[in-house]
Every structure is written in structure tokens, then in C-alpha cells.
Structure 1
Amino acid sequence: MISSINLFLHQAVEAYQRGNYSGAEVMLKRILEVDQKNFGALCILGLINATQFKYRKAVEYFKKAEIINPNDLLNLKNLGAALIDSGENKEGLKRYKKIVQIAPLDSEAWFKLGITYGQLGESLNALQALEESISLQDNNSDAWYFKGVVLKDLGRESEALLAYEKTIELNTVNSLAWNGKGGILYLKNNLKDALACFDKSISINPNNPLVWYNKGSVLSELKKYKNAIESFNKAILLDENFVKARCDKGSALALQKDYQDAVSCFEETMKLQIDHEYLLGNYIHTKLQIADWKNLTRDIENLINKIDTNEKVITPFFALSVFDRPELHKKIAKQWIKNKFPSKNFIAPIANKHEKIRLGYFSADYREHPVAYLTSELFLLHDREKFEVFAFSLSAAESKDPVRTELKRNFDHFLDLENHSATEIAQLARELEIDIAIDLGGHTQDSKTGIFANRAAPIQVNYLGYPGTMGAEYIDYIVADTTIIPDYSRVHYEEKILYMPNSFMIDNSSRVPSTRNFTRAELGLPENAFVYCCFNNGYKFNLQQLEDWVEILKAVDNSVLWLSENNEFFKINILNNFSKFKIKSDRIIFASRLDAIDDHLARCKIADLFLDTHPYNAHATAIDALKAGVPLITYTGNAFAGRVAASLLKACDMSDLITHSRQEYINLAIKMATDKDYFLKIKTKLNENISSGPLFSTKKFVKYLERAYLIIYERYLFGMTPDHIMIDGSKSS
């Protein structure tokens, strides 16, 4: 009988090896009818089912074999693999742990154990197992590759890079390793080398949609949007359900100002997966960019409902122009921080007081950008007996950028860090012993919040670039004023408030209008009309705002509205929207972009009255209007972004131009155009206050800000926790 069983078993093995699985299975089951505990038959039946991807059935046979011979290494390995393939990772882990106990010198077993730990999210255990495997067989390129994967998951980027490079050294055609190396270089912001790695990966295996997607992401960061879109298209061609690639394609289209195509892309993506992260918010923001308000009320209601149920539907910056609800802005920011930039490290208190307080200003906008225009003189005017001033530049600028050149002269140290990761920049800040880190970007494009999640400095401050709370426990203070954040509104901010006297905004006093004399004729403006203007970005416009302007224009016959052209789609849609209310197109005039900011300031003087937007006010554009002597009317809101113009007007002693309802805003705009005496009175007062008021007194503002820095630094040295600080503007510096 035994010899017959062995013969049947031998024949079954031969059939299995020939690929005759059904024949082999028949013979093996006959054996089990005679000998239910035939170890060999059970093992081969397990292999037959595993080969045919019937993993659960394979597990049944391997487990029966395990009962008979619990320490058989080959069966344990097969069982472990089948358990993993059937989704029973924890059970598979038990077998691999047993294997390395029985055979501690089995490199492959340690490797499989490491992979299984990794699948279970136990990265540290995975790393230990993979390192054990490598110590037994250091030429296993797969072990090195997965070590890189695990190290990346642990945030140990530099070590991960070395592991990927070792993989490539052992196997130059490992496309996944080239992709992994590219991913690390991308995180380090070494974009050109990352792109080369993704190209190498694609040359080895052009059919991996993820690598094409990664290449598109790098190209987007390099602002090569056309090429990025081509890469995203390739990823989508390989995987038509690659929703993330579709979303990022839409964002790239928007960034290259192909807004209409971006809207269409987002709409197509929502047909596949409407609840994909941040898709709805991106869609709404892009529609706002082109004044496409169709179904916008419905979409915003849907958005708010999703926010209420804690869905990730909109980024913090995009939310500012959608609704005037600071409690939602905080909720969105906290969620964004939790998911994207959780706290990584809190450094120990500094032991010794520096001779000078070391200020680190972090920005991706040290170039021709509103933040740079406004702050340039701040860095120059800091008291060098008390402060040492560092620029941490997070993004490159054009080689001949005049603002960049000026900024480099205004700092004690200017650090070009565009090719460094957030972790590396935070580490550098700690090595330089920066005392106060000031984030000038917040939740805006190209910023690196991860720097502050890694605690770049013992004191971290949110200032100017982002008008709202960061929602992060590791940002200690936000610079504001009592208009921006009244006492009752503090609850909507994660940070403690550094209250500046007057306004929180600063301006460069040397930034003045050019001597160029513009005429109404060359700007396309009627000679005798009352010129309302608004030079805000397109995303700050909405239907409610337009309806208010319609009422104003209808009440003031001899008036026009002068707007920034923003983009071609915006112009078309704005004109169409006005035409629905019987406002003729010749009453809406568009201003094209001027390269020189001083020329723009000179051009602003032509306008009679600036009409602000709600819920997202004019910020730098409001400064420009007031500096040019153009009165501005604002309808103040509840959130930071909607209270900036009011802050600026109060600092000019022009509170009469602050309104608190739509109708009050409309009535005042009409009065300014129809009551010439009142208009002249306001205009005269503004021009007097520009020179005498605090808004454009940059030196005074710098002293106030320095006083704030000294206070929060002293509090830190004395072990005091952050608290709201009110800077008294009546005290001499």
C-alpha cells in the first residue's frame, strides 16, 4: 500500500510540474482518501491551489500539513506566503517568526518577515528584520529596496536614499528602486535629479502609472506645467481610474492658467470619485478664478456639509474665499495639519541667552511677490544691536529678479534652500540656534509647513503671508491687531495673538508710485466718468459681490468699473454675468498687468474709489490703493481675510469707509460718487493721513514688532508658556 501511495505521489508531482493541475489534484485526493495525513499530498495540493491563485484553499491544505509536521520549513514558508496572499497578514507573520526561530540564518525568511511587518505597518520591526536579512546576505537587492521603503516610511530620508542607491548598485535595472530614489530626492526638493531618476525608471519599465505620476508631480514643482500634464495623461492612459493623477492634472492646468480645461478635468474626475480628497475644493476654487458661478451655491453647501462630517474636501487657503466662517477655517486648518504636517519634534529649551536674538524668516516668496514687496524694508531696519536676521529661502527666483537682489542685501544671512527637505531645513535652523522662526507663507503655495512641524526654533510665529490660523499646536503666535482678531474671535485661532498697535500689515516706505503720468485715454477709461476699481484676484469675486456692484453702477449712471483682467476666461464670464443684469460691457474696463510695481501704483491714482471684495478682502492691493491716495470702501467680515481692509482703514484714521452690511456698502459707494463735497473731503483726509498716519510708518512698525519679539523671547527664557500679547503703541521705543 505504501509503495502504491508513493507511486501515486510521484506521478502527481510530475503532473503538477507539467502544469496538469487537475490530473495531479485527482491523484492527490485519492491518496488522501486512503491516508488523510499524507504530508506530501497535502503540501502539493496547497501548491496547486496557490499556483492557481486559490489562496484560501491553499491555506487549508498547508495548515493540515502543519498539524502533521509543525516545524517543516518549506511548508511553513508556503503557508506564510499563502496567508499573506489571502490577506491574513497577522497569521502569515506568526509563521515567518517561527521560521526565523527555527532557522535564524535563513536570509530569505528574515526578508519575508520584514516584508510582512511592513505590510502590517510595523516599520521598526520591518527594518530590524530586513537588516538581519542583509547581514546574512548583503547582495540581496530586493532586501535593500524594501529597506529603503521602510526607512522612507519612518521619515529617515537620507538613509532611505542610501538604501535605494545600494539597490541600484546591485541591480541597475530595478525600476522601483530608481522610482524610490526619485521620490526621496523629490522630498529633498532636489527636483532635477529626481526627474532624472523617474526618467530612468520609465526607461526600464514604461508601464508603471505611478512613476509617470511622480514625474508629473516633479514637473509641476518645476513649473513645467505642460510637460507635467503630458506625464499625468500617460499615467491616466495606463490606469484610467488613477484619480489622484486626474486631480493633479487639473491642478497643473489651473496653475498654467488653463482654467476652463482644469474645470472640465475636475468635473470628469468627480464622475469617477466625487469624494476624492480636496477635489471639490479645488473645483470650486478654479471656478472662482474664472468667475464661473454656475451651481456654486449648491457646491458650497455640499462642501460645508462634508466639512461638518470631517471629510477632507478643501485646503485652508482655498477655503478663505469660499465662506466667511472663521470656525470652519480653523477646523479645515487643523485637519490639514493633522493629515499633512503632524508635529514631529519639540526641541528642548535653549540653555543660554544669545548676545543677539536670532530671527529666521522663512518664505518661498523672496522674489517679485506681494509678500516680498511689503517686507523688504522690515529686514533692513531690524536693530542689528539686538537682532541677527536670517532668510530661509524655500524657492528659487529668476536670476535677474530685482527684488531678490535687494532682499539679499537686507539680511545678515541669506540661505538658498530650495533643494532641501523640510526636515533638513528645520535641522539647519536648530544648528544655527534660531530663536524665533517666522513663517511668512503659512498655507500658501510652495510653503513648507513641515519645517515648523519639526520645530525649527523654540518660538514659532505665523505672520503676513497667510490670513488665518495655521491650526497647528507648534505655531505659538500669530501677528494681528484688534481689528483683525477681536477678543471674541480668539477662539478661532490655535495660536496666541501678538497684537500690533494700529494695523498688523507692514509696507516698504521706499515703494512709491513712479513718475509716469498715465492718462485715462491710454487706459481705456472715459474722461469724465466716476471710476470705481477693484484690482483683486479673480477668486475673490462672487455673485453676491457682483450684484452689489450692479446696484451701484445702476445708481450712478456716469460710472465705470475698472478691474484687473486676471485671465481671459474671467473677462468673458464677468462680462456675461454683468450683461445678465443689463450692465453694458463698455462700463466694465479691464486693466492689464504692468511689470513694474511702481508703475502700477502710479496707474492706481487714476481711479476714484476702490471697491473691496467680501468675504476675502483686498490685502496688498488695498495697501496699493491707499498709498496711491485712492479711498477704499470695505464690507468687513468675521474672518481674518475679511477684516484686513478695515484694519488698514483704521490705521489711516479712515473708519468712515468701513461698512458692516451689504446695503451700507452699496449706499456709501453711491454717496461717494454722487456727493462731490463728501468725496473731496474723504479724498483730502486720506492724502493727509497717508503721510502723517501710522500705516505707512515702516520704522515705527518695525520697532513695535521688535518689541513683540523681545517680549515673547523673554517669556520663553523664563519658562513661561505663550500667551496673548498686546503691544502698546503709545510707548516710546
Structure 2
Amino acid sequence: MDGQPVTIQAAVALHQAGAWDRAAQAYEQILTADPQNVDALHLTGVIAHQRGEYEDAIRWIQRALQLRPRNATFHNNLGNAFQAVGRYDAAEQHFQTALEISPQSVDARFNLGALRQEQGQWNAALAEFAAVVRQQPGMAKAYHRLGMIFKRQGQLAEAERCLSEALVHDPDFDEAALLLAKTHCAAGRTDEALEQFERLCAKSPQQIDAHFELAATLLDCGRYDEAIVQLSNVIQRAPEHARAHHHLGVAHLRRLHLTEAEVCFREAVRLRPDFAMAHNSLGSLLRERGELSAAADCFSESFRLLPQAAEPRANLAGILQLQGRPTEAIAAYRSALQIDDSSARIHSNLLMTLHYDPELSAEEIFEEHQRWSRRHVVPTAAAPRLKNNPLQSRPLRIGYLSADFRAHSVASFIEPLLKAHDRRAVHVSCYSDVTAPDDVTVRLKTHADTWRDVQGKTDQEVLKMIIDDEIDILVDLAGHTGGNRLQVLAQRAAPVQITHLGYGGTTGIPAIDYRLTDVVADPPGESRRHVEELAYLRSGIFCYAPPLNAPPVAPAPCLENGYVTFGSFNNLAKINSSVVKLWAAILHDMPTSRLFMKSHSFLDAATREDFLRMFSQHGINPARLDLLGQVATLREHLELYGRIDIALDSFPYTGATTTCESLWMGVPVVTLRGHQYVGRLSASLLTQIGCPELIAETPQAYQEIACTLTENLPRLGNVRTQLREQMAQSPVCDAANAAREMETLYRDMWQRWCRGNRKAG
């Protein structure tokens, strides 16, 4: 400028070159010389808008419009400025005026669509963007906007089409490429999504969003180790990326790297104190470590920050369940479902918790299972896609589906069957959804003819895998427990579908044909509370594999102590106020006796104190109770039975694995026969090993059996020396017989299907 008059053309050149400060000075000089220069007024407003000085932009452009009121570009840019400050009515008015003046103004129509989109007027926005691409078919950003809206509305195929079109017209449109990859994820095409993310990351190494989304997709796919590497890279480049710290914590938590996960979650909360889901995830970690009260505080903070999030409320319900407070847990789950009644998983958690409440009838529980099915299962006709050969006598392809092929109670009961199956009669495939495989997983894998890792795969991918494997009989081992794949079975993955072991009742899903049980756990007439047909095993529900490293049976401690020690190693979720009341009455009957309990929940000091307080309210001195939180190994756990004379079973949800462990370690178990399957698990086991005298029909009888066992301590010691052998010789430990019976049952079910009958009679 050097003292020379500045032309508008020179000022515009500076503006277009990005030299905003020099351009602004040039416009100012022009306006000093000519205050009515309409272009300088307008463009000064444009620079103000670009700088984020929206109110200044409005004033400058309004001055330009006073001089040239029929300029469509001015109206369009003024609309942008009004939209930036949230004055949507004024913005709409100016966009509409621009279109009245210049109906072919693509910019004004695009901006009107963007305004509609920002206001949540999705269909109106779609109409505007569709009009834009009709006028200007090569406008990539309009296709991108269409893709955004279609994805939000769940029209994924349309979203993919529009985003692909955007990239045709602008191959360097990274934002469209990123959204296309996310849409592939939403459509369940994770392989395509990962390829798209990887291409974008390779093309734009500094594109942090792409690297983060790639890591997040790997996390969703269950590829935790890869996700950890990618997320660590994101954090190295962007240390303040709170979501990356959070997701890294989730990946570590899934791998049970608890120390690393805690560091990540706490850093995410430090970076963003209002990060509700980071508080929620920290709570999940603390729950895993047994710090229940601290976990509850995290969940409470999470839903304080995000009142409309169902997940933290459901997680708080889980804490209440682990503390033996089923009624409160049920109320909390129902509160979560009021926020999100579409969550099949939260509803399944509610179903599981119902079994712990002593006040609920079997009919009420069955009705809730039917509600789950009506809400979450999409009806499907018989699946013509199944291509199984209906030859009745050929070897059968059996599939076992579970998230618990690991150190878990289900593994204790399924391993002997897998090992004992007759490979001339059946081919065994295991579909493992295990998050953190362990030594048990490795061992189980050796017992399967085919092993499929389905962790991180979608239900549709698992469904296709099972159908392609031509599984004849699919056995679900989860029911409504964590990690279940009930939606796969709901779509008919195999001709015959069974539920077994993992869950204590009906699934509520019509496509599941049978539930395996026995006459003790489900006496005749129980079928009225199941949508599946009950198929009875003469040898009982459970086939138990005693731990290989179990220590020898220890002498009864009462012989040395001179007093009886009662005990329970059941999950505290099963120990409700009714159980405490009855156990307190037994302790009153025998003033010198003690109660020894072990539960993961007792790692939490507040939970432990609350439990002691419950006994105090029934007049029991807390000094008579020994509460232990956890031990390091299974052998140490089993050695603790050497401190117990008599095991007291929980109700209405009895033990299964704990009952087997107790009996194997020589400790008799007193149980109360319940009014549904979960209340008769121990009764089934005790019947099979020949100890029906330990089964009580009423709380009073339960109390009497416990007291009678203490009347003759030498006899109690003698029982202890005989129980392991008695159990070893019983059907409970006869894997070969259990496998043959199971295979016969499978064959009967298969033959009936081949003859056109869905279920065996």
C-alpha cells in the first residue's frame, strides 16, 4: 500500500491468499476513502466471520445490505453469521431471501440445509441437500451431509452410497472417508471399516481422528492387543485426548490388566472431570477389584453427569446385587430400563437378578422373561437357509456356544462332557466368546474338534459362522448371563437349539427348543413356566470335573476345636436378608458355633460392615463371624474348606459349583429346596450323590438338619471322610455315562427334527 490508493481487487487478492490482517487493513483504507464501498463493507464482515467475530460480521454485512438489499451473496453470508450466534430464525430468513433473489444459488440452499440439520429438522435438511446435488452433482460436501443424516437415521445403505459419491468427487475428502468407515462399522462390515480406517491413516498420518477410530473399531472387534498399540500411539501424539485414555483403559480392563486400566481411567477423568462414561468405566474397574462402595460412587457420579444414561444405573444395580440387596437391585435395573427399554443386555441382567429375590414367585419371573422376548426378539420364520442333511443316522455336528470357556463354573461342568464325547457319534465345535482367555481356555480347546473364537464378532457374523459350519444341534451355555448370544439363537442358527447349564430358567425365546434339566430341579409340571420343552437327564444336570490339584480332605475342624464352624463360599448376591435371618437362628441354637464366609464382595470394607450389622440386628455378636474376601489360587480356596464343618446353602438361589466343591472337600451341605430351578440345584446334586437327608423342605427343617448334624461330632467327622469317595462313585462324576446319555438325547431330538417335528416329546 505504501501510501498508494488500495484497490478492491488488491484487497480481495490478499483476502483470498489468507492474509486476513493485511486484507482487513486494505478494506479499512478503502472505506476511509469511500465509506459507501459496498464490497469492502461486505468483505470486512466476511473476515470478521472467519475470525469468529460474529456480531461484528452481522453489523458490517447489514451495512452492505442497506446499500444493496437484493444481493443474494450478502443475504447468504449474513445468514451464516446469524446461524453462528444461534439466531436461527434470522438466519433462515436471509437464506430464504437469497434463494428468492437467486433460486439457483447452491451455496444458499446448502447453508439452509445445514441450518435445518443443526436444528434437528432431518427430513427438511435431506430435501435441501438432495436439491443441491441435483443442481450441482459434483458437490462432495452436500453428499457428505446427506451421508451424515442418513447414518443418523439408520439408513446405512443410503449413507454409504452418498459418502462413496462424495469421495468420487473429492478423493481427498478425509472427513467423508472417516464417516464412511464409521458407517461400515454401524452396518456390521467391520473388515471394510478397518480397511477404510487404515487407508485414511496411511494417507494422513497426522489425522488423529482416523487413528482413534481405527483403535476404537479394533476395540469393538475384540482385538484388544492391537487396540492397545493404536491407542498408545494416539496418546503419544495427542496426550490430552481424554477419549483415547478412556478407550485404552477399556482395552486393558478387557485383558484384566487392572493396574494399567486404572491409570488410564483416572487420567481420562483428570483431563475431563465431566466425562461421565470415564467415571462409569472406573466404577467397572473398581467393581472388578471388589471395591464395591467406591465403584458405586463412580456410577452415581456418572449418572449425575449424564442423567439420561442407562448404563451407570444398570451398573449400580449390579453393585446392589453383589451386596445381597436384590430388591434394591431390581428397582435400579427397572430405573435403567425406563431410560433405555431397548437394551436387551440390561433387561437380561434384570432377569438374572429376579432369581435372587425371595419375595418373587416363579410365575412373576416367567412373565418378565416373556416380556423380554416380546421386547427384544424379532419373530422369524423357519429358516430356509439351513442346509443340514436330514439323515437320521449320520454323526451329528454339535456346537457349544459360551463366553465362559475359561476359569468359570460353567467350564467345570462342560469340560468332562467335551472330553468324554464319542467322536464316532458327534463332531464337537466350540464357539468361544471369551474376553480374556486363560489356562482353562487352552485346555478346553484341546477337547474340541473345531474351535471358533467369536469374541468381537457381530451376532450376524456368528450366526453365519454357525450356519456355514452346518451345526445340527446348538447348545447355549449362557442364557441371560453376561456375554450371551441369545440373539443368534433367536434367529435360528441350527435346526435344534438347546439351553443348558449357564442360566437358571427359561430364556423366553421361542426359537430355543429345549432346556436340559432333571426331575429334581424341574419336577413334572414345571414346563408351564418355560417356552422351551424340558428335556430330562436321568443322571442329573451336572457332570462335575473335580479340580486336578484339589488338596486332600482335611479332618473335621470341630474334632480339634470342640465347636462347630458353619460356612458358605457362595456369591454374596445369593445371601439376602432372609438367609441371614435363618443363619442367625442356627447360630442362636448353638451359642458356641461360628460362621466362616468367603466372598469376593467382602474385599469391600463397607459391604463387610453392613453384613456384620445385619447379623448384629439378629443378636449375633460380629466376633462369631469370620469374613474373607479372596485368595490367590483355586487350591488355596479349596484348602479353606478345612476350616468348615457344615456348609449352609443359600436360597432362593442355591449353590452349584460351591456345592460340588464343598462335597468334594468332605463338607456336607444343608440346602432348602426352592420353588424353581435355581432353588433346587443343590437338591439335585445331593440326590445324585445319595444324601437326600441334607435337603430341607422348609426353613424350620433346614434349621433342624443343621442342628442335628452337630449333635454327634465324631459322626460328623466320619461323614467328612466318606463324602469324596461317595461323590466320585456317583453319577455326578461319571462323565462317560453323562456323555452317552447326552448323545442319546441329542440323537432323539435330531431324529424328531428329521421327521418334521421341532421338539422331542
Where on the TM-score scale, by shorter chain, does this alignment land: which range? Answer: 0.7 to 0.9
Contact 2:109 2:128 in 1 (8 A): yes
Mean alpha-carbon deviation: is it higher for 7-16 or for 680-689? 680-689
- The offset of 1:637, in angstroms, is 3.0
Q: Which amino acid is the alignment partner of residue 71 of structure 1?
A: Q
Query: What does residue 356 of structure 2 align with?
Result: 321
Corresponding residue to 2:749 among 704, 712, 716: 712
Q: Which stretch of the first structure deviates more once superposed, 371-380 or 200-209?
A: 200-209
- What is the CA-CA distance between 1:309 and the residue it aligns to? 9.8
| 2:672 match | 635
For structure 2, which runs of at least 5 residues remain unmatched after alignment?
Answer: 1-34, 49-55
8 A Cα contact 1:186 1:194, kept in partner = yes
Correspondence list, 1:122-133, <5 A = 122-133=155-166
Instruction: Note the C-alpha offset of 1:597.
Output: 5.5
CA distance in 2 between partners of 1:694 and 1:584 (Å): 42
Alpha carbons of structure 1 residues 8 and 720: separation in structure 2 relative to 1, 3 Å: farther
1:556 corresponds to which of 590, 596, 602: 590
1:173 and 2:206 matched: yes
Q: Distance in 1 between matches of 2:206 and 2:724?
A: 70
Partner of 1:12: 41
Q: 2:398 aligns with which of 359, 363, 369?
A: 359
Which residue in the other structure is 2:572 paired with?
538
1:239-293 alpha-carbon deviations (Å, 9 max, x no partner): 43433322221111111222332133234345445664253443344345456x6
Deviation at 1:709, TM superposition (A): 1.2
Deviations 1:52-75 (A, max 9, x none): 343332122112222333222122
Cα RMSD after superposing both structures? 3.9
Matches within 5 A, 1:140-219: 140-219=173-252
The Cα shift of 1:398 comes to 6.9
What are the Cα deviations for residues 506-534 of structure 1, in whole angstroms up to 9, with x where unaligned?
213x658956353566xx99522233222
Matches for 1:345-356 after TM superposition, within 5 Å = 348-353=385-390, 355-356=394-395
CA contact (8 A) 2:182 2:193 kept: yes
1:98 aligns with one of 131, 143, 159: 131
1:416-435 CA-to-partner distances (Å, cap 9, x unmatched) read 55576655444433333222
Matches within 5 A, 1:237-276: 237-272=270-305, 276=309
Structure 1 residue 358 displacement after superposition: 1.2
Q: Which deviates further from its counterpart, 193-202 or 512-521?
A: 512-521
Note if contact 1:531-1:559 (Cα within 8 Å) is conserved in structure 2.
Answer: yes
Q: Tell me if the contact between 2:496 and 2:750 (Cα under 8 Å) persists in the aligned partners.
A: yes
The question of whether the paired residues in 2 share the 8 Å contact of 1:541 and 1:613 is answered with yes
**Alignment deviations for residues 64-123 of structure 1 (CA, whole Å, 9 cap, x no partner):** 222333222122112212221222221111111111112223333222222232233322
Write out aligned runs for 1:67-78 (5 A).
67-78=100-111
CA distance in 1, matches of 2:531, 2:67: 71
Which residue in the other structure is 1:376 paired with?
A: 415
Task: Classify the secondary structure of the residue corresponding to 1:70.
Answer: coil
CA deviations on 1:449-497 (whole Å, 9 max, x unpaired) are 5654675534332221232334445544322234434565445444333
Query: Given that residues 359 and 434 in structure 1 are in contact (C-alpha distance below 8 angstroms), is that contact kept between their aligned partners in structure 2?
Result: yes
Counterparts in 2 of 1:615 and 1:245: CA distance versus 1, 3 Å: farther
Q: CA deviation at 1:573?
A: 4.7
Structure 2: distance between partners of 1:186 and 1:256? 22
* SS of residue paired to 1:466: coil
In structure 2, the CA distance between the partners of 1:63 and 1:652, relative to structure 1 (3 Å rule), is same
Contact kept in structure 2, 1:11 and 1:24, CA below 8 Å: no
In the alignment, does 2:97 pair up with 1:64?
Answer: yes
Amino acid paired to 1:407: L
Deviations 1:519-562 (A, max 9, x none): 566xx995222332222122222222112111101112342223
The corresponding residue for 1:616 is 653
Task: Give the corresponding residue for 1:232.
Answer: 265
Q: Check the 8 A contact 1:89/1:119 in 2, yes or no.
A: no
Work out which of the residue numbers 683, 691, 697 in structure 2 matches 1:646: 683
Secondary structure at 1:229 match in 2: helix
Encode CA deviations 1:680-709: one digit per residue, 9 max, x unaligned.
999899789646654443333222211221
2-side partners of 1:163 and 1:137: how far apart? 15
How many angstroms does 1:361 deviate by?
A: 2.1
Separation in structure 1 between the aligned mates of residue 700 and residue 85 of structure 2, nearest angstrom: 73
Whole-Å Cα distance in 2 between the matches of residues 86 and 595 of structure 1? 56
Equivalent residue for 2:147, pick from 111, 114, 121: 114
CA separation of 1:137/1:492 partners in 2, compared to 1, >3 Å: closer, same or farther?
Answer: farther
Q: Hey, what's the Cα distance between the residues in 2 that align with 1:337 and 1:197?
A: 39
Write out aligned runs for 1:74-93 (5 A): 74-93=107-126
Secondary structure, in 3 states, of the residue corresponding to 1:533? strand
Is the counterpart of residue 21 in structure 1 residue 38 in structure 2? no
Instruction: Report Cα offsets for 1:548-583 as digits up to 9, x if no partner.
Output: 111101112342223225443365554444344443
Check whether the contact 2:414–2:543 (CA below 8 A) recurs between aligned residues.
Answer: yes
1:594-609 maps to which residues of 2 (within 5 A)?
604=641, 607-609=644-646
1:3 equivalent in structure 2: none
Q: Partners in 2 of 1:47 and 1:515 — Cα distance?
A: 77
Which runs of 5 or more residues in structure 1 are unaligned? 1-5, 727-733
Normalising to structure 2: TM-score of the pair?
Answer: 0.82
Three-state SS of the structure 2 residue aligned to 1:385 is: coil
**Within 5 A, what are the aligned runs for 1:375-524?**
375-395=414-434, 401=439, 403-404=440-441, 406-415=443-452, 423-446=460-483, 452=489, 456-486=493-523, 489-508=526-545, 516=552, 518-519=554-555
Q: Alpha carbons of 1:23 and 1:247: their partners in 2 closer, same or farther (altered >3 Å)?
A: closer
Question: Which segment drifts farther, 344-353 or 613-622?
Answer: 344-353
**Is the Cα contact below 8 Å between 2:330 and 2:353 reproduced in 1?**
no
Per-residue deviation, 1:145: 0.8
Structure 1 residues 608, 9: CA separation in 2 closer, same or farther (over 3 Å shift)? same
SS in 2 for 1:410: coil
Distance 2:551 2:258 in 1: 37
Q: Secondary structure at the match of 2:120?
A: coil
Q: For 2:534, what is the secondary structure of its paired residue? A: strand
Q: Report if aligned partners of 2:317, 2:333 keep a CA contact under 8 Å in 1.
A: no
Work out the CA distance in 1 between the residues paired with 2:377 and 2:230. Answer: 26
- If the length of structure 1 is used for normalisation, what is the TM-score? 0.84
1:619-645 alpha-carbon deviations (Å, 9 max, x no partner): 111122334454322223334322212
Asked if structure 2 preserves the Cα contact closer than 8 Å seen for 1:631 and 1:683, the reply is yes
Structure-1 residue corresponding to 2:8:
none
Residues 50-59 or 330-339, more deviating: 330-339
Q: For 1:247 and 1:340, locate their aligned partners in 2 and report how far apart those are by CA, in whole Å.
A: 25
For the 8 Å contact 2:673–2:697, the answer to whether it is kept is yes
User: How far apart, in 2, do the equivalents of 1:478 and 1:425 lie?
Assistant: 21
Question: Contact 1:9–1:40 (CA<8 Å) still a contact in 2?
Answer: no
Residue 700 of structure 1 corresponds to 737
Percent of aligned positions with the same letter in both sequences?
Answer: 22
Go from structure 1 to structure 2 and tell me whether the alpha carbon gap of 1:82 and 1:302 turns closer, same or farther (over 3 Å shift): closer
Q: Counterparts in 2 of 1:581-600, with a 5 A limit?
A: 581-585=618-622, 587-589=624-626
What is the count of residue pairs matched by the alignment?
A: 709
Is the CA contact 1:462–1:477 (under 8 Å) kept in the aligned structure 2? yes
Match of 1:731 in 2: none
1:556-575 to 2 correspondences below 5 Å: 556-564=590-598, 566=600, 567-568=602-603, 569=605, 573-575=610-612
Q: Measure how far apart 1:618 and its partner are.
A: 0.7
- In structure 2, distance between residues paired with 1:23 and 1:409: 77
Contact 2:471 2:494 in 1 (8 A): yes
CA contact (8 A) 1:377 1:410 kept: no
Mapped to 2, the partners of 1:70 and 1:581 lie a distance apart of 83
